[in-house]
C-alpha cells in the first residue's frame, strides 16, 4: 500500500522525532530514516495480503510460523522459493533433514559456457519457517502451496545481465570445508538473508553488543527476545529490522536492482494466482524474508501499479532433485558462524518445550515420530494490529535467570569430551569453565551465559598451546551442542540412476545409505552373482569422487577376469555426488559413455587422452562399438598433432591395447592397424625435429623410437617403408648428450653402428677430460634407450659400471641424483630390466667378487704394441721446451703431477710420443691460423 496511517504508530513517531533531535547533529537525515522505518512497518502491517517476515534458519521464526499457521489456517501459502522447485517438495517426506532442494544443469544454452555446470540449492532444516509452511501446506487438505520467487533459470539470467556470476544471496560466503562441500559451488537460495549490508553498521552492532560475529549478535538480541513473543510483536519487530537494514544498505545498483526485481517478480506471481483462482487475499499468507517484507516497491494494494514483465526462461534443460545437506554446509555457504545452525537447532527444541507450540512435520518423514495429525481447530479471527513496537523497544531486556544445572552439565560434558580427544582435562577444568562462563556473561552484560560464552570459556580453560587430536575445543563444543547434523535423501526420492545403483549392489548385503566406510568382500569365483556388483563398483570408482569406492584387493586390467575383490564403500557419505550423477543419465553406463565421448571430442583432446577413453570403454563397458568409434577418433587426433608431448602415454596405451586384441580377438580391429600405420609415418616425420628441439625431452624422443621399433613389424606388414625410418635417423643430429646417446642406440638397432663402435665411443668419452663432466648425461640417454632398444640392457650395465669405476668423485656424486630420478621416472619398465640384467652379469656371492672379471673386459682385444722407437714430432719438442701453458691446463683439469721430473727426464715427452694425435691436431690448427 502506498499510503500510511498515522494513528497506529503515532506515539512511536513522536518519540523517534525527539530522539533524532536529541542525539543527532543533523536531525533531518536521521529523522527521515527513523520515520521511514515506521512507515515501512505500518505499510506492511496494513497489507490486505498478510506478510509473514522470517529470517533463515531462525527458531523464533519457525515457532512464530507454526503458531500463526494454526491460528490463521490460510488456504494459500505463498513462499519465497524458486518457483521451479515446487514438484520436489513432496519428496521431502522421504528424506531426513537437513536436505537441500537442487536445480542442476550440465549443459547450458543461453549462458556462458564457462559457467557450466549450473547449480542452485535451497537448504531446508526442521528449525526453519519455510519447512513449517511446506509441512502445513502438504499435509493439510485444501491448502495450496505456491512458490513465487524467480526460477533457477532467472537466477543466472540476472547474473548474466550483470556480467558477474556471483550468488546474490551469498556475497561473503567462506570457502567450503569437509561437510560444507555438500553444496559445492552451488548458488544458495533461501528465505530471509537478514544481515546488515552496511559494514560499519554491523561493526557497530558487534562492538556495542560485545559479541564476536553476527550469528552471536542475532542469537542474543533478536532470537532470544522473540522466541516466545506474540504474533503482532514478532511481525512488527521483524519488519523494523528488515527496514533498518534496507535503508542503511549501500547503494549498490546491481544489488538493489536484483532485490527490487525479485520483489516485483513475487508480487506479480501472487497477483496472477489471485486473479486466476479468485482467492480472497485474507485467506492467504505470504512468507518472505524480512528484508523483502519492508520493500518500497508498490505491492498488492495498487492495481496495475509497478507492473513487471517476467522474461521467458532460456533453453537450458534444468533437472531437479534433493541432495543431503548439513549444518556445516549451510553455515559455510551462507556466511554464518561455525556451530550457529547447530545452536539454532538446540534453541528450537527449547522454544517448543517453553511455548508448547506443536510444530508441523511431514507425515512419514524419516527422523520424526509417526503420530496422527491432530484435528485442525477453527481459525481465530485476527484483530486489527496494535502498536507493539513502542512497548517492545522501551521494555528492558528480560533477564533469563542462570540455570546452574544446565551450565554444570555443559562443563562436565566438555571436560569428558576433551579427555576422549587427548586433552589433559580434569574436574578442576570443569569448575574453571563453569566460573569463567559466568564471568564472561557478566562482562558482556548478560544474566545467563549463552552457548557462545560457554564456548569461549572452554577454549580459555582447556585448550593450551597445542591441539592433541584433530578436533580443537571449539569444535568439541559445537559437537556437544548438537553436532553437525547431516541429512539424507531417502531411496524413494533418489533419481533413477541412484536407485539402480542401490538395486544392483543389493547382493552385497550392506546398508549403502549409511554414512561412513563399509567393507565389502566379493568372492566372485564362489558366488558368480557378485560379478555384476564388481562391474558397478569399478564404474563408480571411475565416475565418483575419490573415496566413494576404493579397491583394497583386486584390480581390473584388460583381458583379466576377477576372482576375489575387497572394497571400502562410502556411498552414503558421497550421496550428493551420486544424485548429481543421476542428472546426467538413467544408468551409470550411459553416463560413462557420455563422458568418454565428451572427452574424446573435446577441444583439448590429445591422442593419449582419446586412447585412454578407448581403454576405458573396453575395460568398463566392454563395448566394441564404442571402442572402435573412439579409436577412429584417436587416429584423427594423432594425424593433427604437431608435437611429441604425449608420445610416452601413446606408446604405453597402444602397446597395452595391441596385447589385449592379439590375445582376445581373432583379428586386429581396423582402427588400430590404421593407427599403427599412421603413427609410424607420423613419428618418422617428427623424429629429426624432436632430436634437435630443446622442448622435447629425452623421454619423449625415446617413446617415439619405442613406438617405431616395437610397431615396426606390424607397420611393415601394413605397407610402411623401413627406408623412411632409416632416413629419419640419418637426418637426426642432436646436440644434447642424452639425445646423442639415444641416437647411437637407435643406430645400433638399425645396424648402422656396431656394438664395438659404440663401446669405443664410450671409452673415448671417458678418456677425454673435457667430456668427462658430461658423461653422466650420456648415461641418462642410454637408460632411456632401454625403452626402444631393450636388447642394450647388458651394454647399459657395462656403461654404468665403467662410469662408477672410472669417473672421479666430484663428477660421479652430483650425477647420482640424476641417475635416481631417471630410474624413478621410468622405473616401472626400465629399472626391472636393468636390475635383472645386472643380476645376470654380476656374481651372486660376495666371495666371488674379488676374482670376478667383467665379461666386457674379458672379450676386449689386446691393445696393439707401440713401435720400439718413434721420433718425437715437432709439437712435442715445442711443448716440452715451453711447458707453462700445458702445466696450467693440467692444473685446471685436476692433474697435479709436474710436467717434467729432473731425475727421470721429461715425462711429458714420453706421453706425447705415445699419443701424438693431440699435438699434431694442435700443430695443424696453429699452422692454419
The average pLDDT across 823-849 equals 74
Banded model confidence at residue 171, pLDDT cuts 50, 70, 90: very low
- At residue 241, the pLDDT reads 82
Phi, psi of 104 (to 5 degrees): -135, 140
633 Cβ contact partners less than 8 Å away, ≥ 6 residues apart: 600, 601, 605, 610
Residue 330's nearest CA partner among 103, 126, 90 is 126
Asked if 317 and 118 count as a contact pair (C-beta separation under 8 A), the reply is: no
> Percent of the chain scored above 90 by pLDDT?
18
Residue 688 main-chain phi, psi, to 5 deg: -60, -40
- What pLDDT does residue 566 have? 92
For β-strands 99-105 and 118-124, DSSP reports them as: antiparallel
pLDDT for residue 5 is more than 70: no
Q: What angle do CA 799, 801, 804 make, to 5 degrees?
A: 110
Note the pLDDT of residue 78.
92
Cell digits of residue 923: 700443430
Secondary structure (3-state) at 620: helix
Quick: pLDDT tens for 21-33: 655 555 555 556 6
Angle at 231 between CA 230 and CA 234, to 5 degrees: 85
Cα 216 → chain centroid? 30
Per-residue model confidence as pLDDT tens digits over 265-282: 888 888 889 989 988 888
Q: How far apart are CA 798 and CA 801, in angstroms?
A: 5
pLDDT digits (tens, 9 = 90+) for 560-576: 888 899 999 998 888 88
* pLDDT the model gives residue 794: 87
Name the nearest CA neighbour of 484 among 515, 512, 508, 463: 515
| Per-residue pLDDT at 567 | 92
Contact between 354 and 346 under an 8 Å Cβ cutoff? The reply is: no
User: With 90 as the cut, is the pLDDT of residue 456 above it?
Assistant: no
Grid coordinates belonging to 859: 672379450
269-283, 586-600, 629-643, 864-878: least confidently modelled range: 864-878
- The x, y and z cell numbers of residue 723, run together, are 627406408
What band does 615 get if pLDDT is binned at 50, 70 and 90?
A: very high
> Is omega for the bond preceding 117 within 30 degrees of 0, making it cis?
yes
Give whole-number Cα distances, 42 to 54, 239, 290, 439, in Å.
17, 9, 14, 42
- Reply yes or no on whether the pLDDT at 2 is more than 50: no
- The model's pLDDT over 645-701, given as tens digits with 9 standing for 90+, comes to 888 899 999 999 999 999 888 889 999 999 999 999 999 999 999 999 888 888 899
C-alpha to C-alpha distance for 583 and 319, rounded to whole angstroms = 6
Residue by residue, DSSP assigns 831-899 as HHHHHHHHHHHS-SSSGGGTT---HHHHTPPPPPPPPS--PPPHHHHHHHHS-HHHHHHHHHTT--S-S
Q: How far apart are CA 410 and CA 147, in angstroms?
A: 42
Identify whether the C-beta of residue 179 lies closer than 8 Å to the C-beta of residue 328: yes
pTM (two decimals): 0.71
- Is residue 96 helix, strand or coil? strand
Q: Is residue 134 pLDDT above 70, yes or no?
A: yes
For residues 299 and 628, the model is more confident at 628
Q: Are 114 and 163 in contact (CB under 8 A)?
A: no
Of 18-22, 696-700, 759-763, the one with minimum mean pLDDT is 18-22
**Could you give the 3-state DSSP secondary structure of residue 399?**
coil
Give the pLDDT confidence score for residue 385 in this predicted structure: 59
In this predicted structure, the answer to whether residue 867 has a pLDDT above a threshold of 50 is: no
Mean pLDDT, range 298-319, rounded to an integer: 70
* Burial (CB count within 10 angstroms: exposed 0-12, middle 13-18, buried 19+), residue 665: exposed
Write the pLDDT tens digit of every residue in 398-432: 555 557 778 888 888 889 888 888 888 888 889 99
- What is the per-residue pLDDT across 65-100, written as a single tens digit (0 to 9) for each? 999 999 889 999 999 888 888 888 888 888 888 888
pLDDT of 17 > 80? The answer is no
Tell me how crowded residue 244 is: count the other CB atoms within 10 A of its CB: 21
At 777-826, the pLDDT tens digits run: 888 888 888 889 888 888 888 888 888 888 888 888 887 887 777 666 65
Tell me 905's DSSP state: B
Helix (H) / strand (E) element for 522: namely strand 518-523
In whole angstroms, give the CA distance from residue 22 to residue 15. Answer: 11
State yes or no: pLDDT of 874 exceeds 50.
Answer: no
Q: Which of 47, 65, 219 is nearest to 131 (CA)?
A: 65
Identify the pLDDT of residue 402.
Answer: 59
Q: Where are the beta strands (DSSP E) in 340-487?
A: none
Q: How confident is the model at residue 629 (pLDDT cuts 50, 70, 90)?
A: very high
- Report pLDDT for 608: 92
SS3 for 442?
helix
Are the C-beta atoms of residues 537 and 549 closer than 8 Å to each other? yes
What pLDDT is stored for residue 806 in this prediction? 81
Alpha carbons 162 and 256: distance in angstroms, whole number: 12
Q: In this predicted model, what pLDDT tens digit does every residue of 195-220 receive, in sequence order?
A: 666 667 777 777 777 777 777 777 77
**Whole-angstrom Cα distance, residue 386 to residue 400?**
27
pLDDT band at 179 (very low <50, low <70, confident <90, very high): very low
User: Is 450 a residue whose pLDDT tops 90?
Assistant: no
Cis peptide before 98 (omega within 30 of 0): yes
Task: Report, as an integer, the average pLDDT of 175-186.
Answer: 48
State residue 298's pLDDT score.
58
Reading the block at residue 80, the C-alpha cell is 519465497
Cell of 238: 521483524
Going across the sheet that includes 99-105, the strands are: 187-188, 118-124, 99-105, 319-324
Quickly list DSSP for 108-150: -SSS-GGGPSEEEEEEE-TTSHHHHHHHHHHHSTT-EEEEEEP
The mean pLDDT of 361-380, rounded to a whole number, is 60
- 909 pLDDT exceeds 90? no
Q: Give the Cα separation of 263 and 241 in Å (integer).
A: 18
- In the chain, the percentage of residues whose pLDDT exceeds 70 is 78
**What is the per-residue pLDDT for 890?**
64
Give the chain's mean pLDDT: 79
Amino acid at each position: 500500500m502506498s499510503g500510511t496511517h498515522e494513528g497506529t504508530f503515532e506515539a512511536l513517531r513522536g518519540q523517534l522525532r525527539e530522539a533524532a533531535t536529541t542525539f543527532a547533529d543533523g536531525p533531518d537525515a536521521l529523522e527521515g530514516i527513523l520515520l521511514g522505518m515506521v512507515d515501512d512497518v505500518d505499510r506492511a502491517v496494513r497489507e490486505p495480503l498478510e506478510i509473514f517476515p522470517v529470517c533463515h534458519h531462525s527458531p523464533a521464526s519457525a515457532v512464530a510460523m507454526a503458531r500463526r499457521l494454526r491460528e490463521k489456517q490460510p488456504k494459500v501459502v505463498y513462499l519465497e522459493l524458486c518457483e521451479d522447485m515446487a514438484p520436489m517438495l513432496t519428496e521431502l517426506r522421504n528424506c531426513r533433514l537437513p536436505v537441500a532442494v537442487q536445480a542442476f544443469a550440465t549443459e547450458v544454452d543461453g549462458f556462458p559456457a564457462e559457467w557450466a555446470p549450473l547449480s542452485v540449492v535451497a537448504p531446508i532444516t526442521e528449525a526453519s519457517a519455510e519447512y513449517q509452511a511446506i509441512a502445513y501446506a502438504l499435509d493439510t487438505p485444501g491448502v495450496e502451496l505456491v512458490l513465487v520467487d524467480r526460477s533457477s533459470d532467472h537466477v543466472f539470467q540476472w547474473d548474466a545481465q550483470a556480467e558477474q556470476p556471483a550468488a546474490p544471496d551469498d556475497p561473503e560466503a567462506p570457502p567450503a570445508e569437509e561437510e560444507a562441500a555438500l553444496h559445492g559451488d552451488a548458488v544458495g537460495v533461501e528465505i530471509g538473508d537478514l544481515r546488515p549490508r552496511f559494514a560499519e553498521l554491523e561493526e557497530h552492532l558487534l562492538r556495542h553488543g560485545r559479541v564476536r560475529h553476527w550469528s552471536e549478535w542475532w542469537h542474543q538480541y533478536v532470537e532470544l527476545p522473540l522466541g516466545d513473543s506474540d504474533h503482532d510483536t514478532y511481525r512488527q519487530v521483524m519488519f523494523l529490522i528488515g527496514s533498518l537494514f534496507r535503508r542503511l544498505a549501500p547503494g549498490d545498483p546491481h544489488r538493489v536492482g536484483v532485490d527490487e526485481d525479485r520483489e516485483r517478480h513475487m508480487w506479480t506471481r501472487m497477483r496472477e494466482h489471485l486473479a486466476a483462482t479468485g482467492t480472497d487475499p485474507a485467506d492467504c499468507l505470504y512468507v518472505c524474508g524480512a528484508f523483502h517484507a519492508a520493500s518500497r516497491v508498490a505491492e498488492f494494494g495498487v492495481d496495475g501499479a509497478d507492473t513487471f514483465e517476467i522474461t521467458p526462461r532460456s533453453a537450458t534443460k534444468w533437472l531437479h532433485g534433493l541432495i543431503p545437506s548439513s549444518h556445516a554446509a549451510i553455515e559455510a555457504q551462507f556466511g554464518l558462524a561455525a556451530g550457529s545452525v547447530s545452536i539454532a537447532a538446540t534453541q528450537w527444541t527449547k522454544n517448543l518445550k517453553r511455548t508448547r507450540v506443536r510444530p508441523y512435520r511431514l507425515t512419514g518423514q524419516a527422523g520424526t515420530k509417526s503420530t496422527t495429525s491432530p484435528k485442525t481447530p477453527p481459525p481465530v479471527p485476527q484483530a486489527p494490529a496494535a502498536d507493539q513496537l513502542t512497548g517492545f523497544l522501551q521494555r528492558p531486556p528480560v533477564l533469563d535467570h542462570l540455570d546452574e544445572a544446565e551450565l554444570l552439565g555443559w562443563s562436565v560434558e566438555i571436560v569428558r569430551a576433551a579427555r576422549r580427544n587427548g586433552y589433559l582435562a580434569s574436574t578442576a577444568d570443569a569448575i574453571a569453565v563453569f566460573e569463567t562462563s559466568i564471568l564472561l556473561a557478566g562482562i558482556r552484560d548478560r544474566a545467563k551465559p549463552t552457548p557462545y560464552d560457554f564456548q569461549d570459556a572452554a577454549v580459555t580453560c582447556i585448550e593450551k598451546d597445542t591441539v592433541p587430536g584433530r578436533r580443537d575445543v571449539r569444535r568439541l563444543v559445537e559437537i556437544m551442542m548438537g553436532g553437525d547434523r547431516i541429512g539424507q535423501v531417502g531411496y524413494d526420492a533418489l533419481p533413477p540412476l541412484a536407485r539402480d545403483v542401490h538395486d544392483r549392489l543389493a547382493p552385497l548385503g550392506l546398508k549403502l545409505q549409511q554414512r561412513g566406510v563399509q567393507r565389502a568382500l566379493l568372492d566372485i569365483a564362489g558366488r558368480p552373482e557378485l560379478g555384476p556388483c564388481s562391474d558397478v563398483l569399478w564404474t563408480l570408482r571411475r565416475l565418483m569422487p575419490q573415496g566413494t569406492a576404493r579397491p583394497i584387493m583386486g584390480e581390473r586390467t584388460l583381458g583379466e577376469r576377477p576372482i576375489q575383490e575387497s572394497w571400502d564403500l562410502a556411498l552414503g557419505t558421497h550421496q550428493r555426488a551420486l544424485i548429481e550423477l543421476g542428472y546426467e543419465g538413467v544408468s551409470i553406463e550411459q553416463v560413462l559413455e557420455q563422458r568418454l565421448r565428451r572427452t574424446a571430442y573435446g577441444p583439448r583432446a590429445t591422442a593419449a587422452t582419446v586412447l585412454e577413453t578407448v581403454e576405458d570403454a573396453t575395460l568398463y563397458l566392454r563395448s566394441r562399438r564404442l571402442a572402435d568409434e573412439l579409436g577412429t577418433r584417436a587416429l584423427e587426433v594423432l594425424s593433427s598433432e604437431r608435437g611429441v608431448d604425449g608420445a610416452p602415454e601413446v606408446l604405453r596405451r597402444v602397446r597395452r591395447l595391441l596385447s589385449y586384441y592379439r590375445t582376445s580377438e581373432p583379428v586386429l580391429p581396423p582402427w588400430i592397424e590404421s593407427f599403427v600405420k599412421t603413427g609410424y609415418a607420423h613419428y618418422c616425420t617428427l623424429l629429426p625435429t624432436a632430436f634437435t628441439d630443446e622442448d622435447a625431452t629425452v623421454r619423449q624422443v625415446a617413446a617415439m623410437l619405442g613406438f617405431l621399433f616395437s610397431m615396426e613389424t606390424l607397420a611393415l606388414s601394413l605397407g610402411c617403408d623401413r627406408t623412411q625410418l632409416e632416413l629419419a635417423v640419418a637426418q637426426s643430429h642432436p646436440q644434447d648428450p642424452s639425445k646423442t646417446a639415444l641416437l647411437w642406440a637407435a643406430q645400433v638397432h638399425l645396424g648402422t653402428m656396431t656394438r664395438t663402435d659404440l663401446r669405443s665411443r664410450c671409452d673415448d668419452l671417458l678418456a677425454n677430460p673435457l667430456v668427462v663432466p658430461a658423461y653422466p648425461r650420456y648415461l641418462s640417454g642410454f637408460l632411456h634407450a632401454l625403452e626402444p632398444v631393450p636388447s642394450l640392457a647388458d651394454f647399459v650395465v657395462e656403461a654404468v659400471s665403467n662410469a662408477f669405476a672410472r669417473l672421479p668423485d666430484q663428477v660421479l656424486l652430483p650425477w647420482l641424483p640424476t641417475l635416481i630420478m631417471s630410474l624413478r621416472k621410468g622405473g616401472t619398465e626400465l629399472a626391472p630390466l636393468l636390475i635383472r640384467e645386472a643380476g645376470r652379469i654380476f656374481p651372486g656371492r660376495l666371495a666371488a667378487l674379488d676374482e670376478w672379471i667383467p665379461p666386457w673386459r674379458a672379450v676386449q682385444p689386446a691393445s696393439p704394441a707401440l713401435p720400439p722407437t718413434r721420433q718425437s714430432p715437432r709439437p712435442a719438442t715445442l711443448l716440452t721446451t715451453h711447458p707453462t701453458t700445458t702445466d696450467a691446463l693440467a692444473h685446471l683439469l685436476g692433474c697435479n703431477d709436474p710436467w717434467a721430473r729432473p731425475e727421470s727426464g721429461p715425462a711429458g715427452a714420453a706421453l706425447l710420443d705415445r699419443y701424438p694425435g693431440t699435438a699434431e691436431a694442435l700443430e695443424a690448427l696453429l699452422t692454419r691460423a
